[in-house]
Amino acid sequence: MPPIDQVELAFNPTTLMILNVVLGFVLFGVALDLRVTHFVDLVKDPKAPLVGLVAQFLLLPALAFGLVSLLPIAPSVKLGVLLVAACPGGNVSNFLTHLAKGNTAVSVGMTLISTCAALVTTPLNLAFWGGMNPETAALLKSFSLDPLQMLFTVGVLLGVPLASGMALAHYAPKLAASLRIPLKWLSIVFFAVFVGLAFRANFTHFLNHVGTVFVPVLLLNAGALALGWGAARLVGLPQADRRAVSIEVGIQNSGLGLILVFNFFSGLGGMAVVAAWWGLWHIIAGMTLAGLWSWFPPTDGSLPDPAREAELP
């Protein structure tokens, strides 16, 4: 069995291009959800998304740094964990929040803001926290990571589909409304199928190295879900908002992580396996938690109005 850093996942330029297209399709669908009422709601009561974004962009990367500093894992796996923690929320979080009887409006708002903010926060968080650990700092130097170049790449990957979706929603609202729900489900299906096929193509590598990445991914994901819930509870948010914040902080855009691994780190085995395994695990954990919560509606009367929720994904 080759060392994890010698693992070469079955990702050729064509596969990477397909992943770029799938990610763009997902983000385009997210942008179609944007309406003025969402921003009005966030301006009127910004506490929930602000708490969630602080947890996601400040506390989660710090938690990941503490985790990789304590665990005896390969430097590339440590850097992969830091990269996942630096990524924005994943689109499936909106669906999971709705299933969990959480506040979907808060989830949609956080996904939007975190995705836009990731243009800056993802490169800077990875460079900052990765540079704090001597082992991961050496890897960053060996690949000559340029935060400005990553900033440009992330800007293209995220900015173009988001701007396109928002433009369509603004100039052709009827067409956007008719596409919104089908694209939401198709984007989830396409991403799930892509992840499943990638897992199948790299099954041997996962089988050989899942023991190496399972514990770090499990601990980071559990910590992220708990961090979101704890931060929301600490500031006194209602239960539906706590569920939204918890899921949003715990679900990361691993597709973006994989793209960055192959664009900037030559598909480095440890980083790639972490990002790929996260793509599977956070869906399993998120579905399990959302399924449990779906059986227990919020007891404090904070369940959003069904008519209002029907307008959301």
Task: List, for residues 62-75, the tens digit of each pLDDT value.
Answer: 999 999 999 998 88
Q: Cα 104 to chain center, whole Å?
A: 16
| Contact indicator for 244, 97 with CB cutoff of 8 Å | yes
pLDDT band for position 193 (cuts 50, 70, 90): confident
Instruction: Give 304's DSSP letter.
Output: P
State the pLDDT at residue 294: 86
Q: Which residue has the higher pLDDT, 9 or 167?
A: 167
* CA dist list (Å): 59 to 100, 204, 254, 307: 23, 34, 18, 34
State the pLDDT at residue 297: 83
**Global confidence as pTM:** 0.77
In angstroms, the first-to-last Cα distance of the chain is 44
pLDDT band for position 104 (cuts 50, 70, 90): confident
State the pLDDT at residue 306: 45
Q: Which bin fits 10, alpha (ψ -120 to 50), beta or left (φ > 0)?
A: beta
Taken in order 253, 287, 273, 73, is the CA torsion positive or negative? Answer: positive
How large is the average pLDDT for residues 215-239?
A: 93
**How far apart are the C-alpha atoms of 261 and 180, rounded to whole Å?**
30
* CA dist list (Å): 42 to 49, 95, 143: 8, 19, 40
How large is the average pLDDT for residues 289-311?
A: 68
Q: Of the given ranges (132-146, 148-162, 229-243, 279-293), which has the lowest mean pLDDT?
A: 148-162
State the pLDDT at residue 311: 45
| Contact indicator for 115, 162 with CB cutoff of 8 Å | yes
**How far apart are the C-alpha atoms of 101 and 243, rounded to whole Å?**
8
The phi, psi pair for 101, rounded to 5°, reads: 60, 40
Q: Check whether 12 has a pLDDT greater than 60.
A: no
Q: Which residue has the higher pLDDT, 162 or 227?
A: 227
The phi, psi pair for 301, rounded to 5°, reads: 75, 15
Tokens representing residue 20 in the block: 């770029």
State the pLDDT at residue 307: 35
**How far apart are the C-alpha atoms of 118 and 1, rounded to whole Å?**
36
State the pLDDT at residue 197: 67
Q: Which residue has the higher pLDDT, 280 or 34?
A: 280
pLDDT band for position 313 (cuts 50, 70, 90): very low
Q: Which residue has the higher pLDDT, 248 or 157?
A: 248
Q: Structural domains in the chain?
A: 25-309 (1.20.1530.20)
Percent helix, strand and coil across the chain, each rounded to 5? 80, 0, 20
How large is the average pLDDT for residues 18-35?
A: 70
Q: Check whether 61 has a pLDDT greater than 90.
A: yes
Q: What is the mean pLDDT of the chain?
A: 78
State the pLDDT at residue 21: 74
Percent of the chain with pLDDT over 70: 73
Q: Check whether 186 has a pLDDT greater than 60.
A: yes
| Contact indicator for 113, 49 with CB cutoff of 8 Å | yes
How large is the average pLDDT for residues 193-215?
A: 68
Q: Which residue has the higher pLDDT, 104 or 145?
A: 104
Classified as helix, coil or strand, 3 is coil
Q: Check whether 123 has a pLDDT greater than 70.
A: yes
Q: Where are the alpha helices (DSSP H) in 56-172?
A: 60-70, 75-86, 92-99, 104-132, 134-142, 147-171
**How far apart are the C-alpha atoms of 250 and 89, rounded to whole Å?**
8
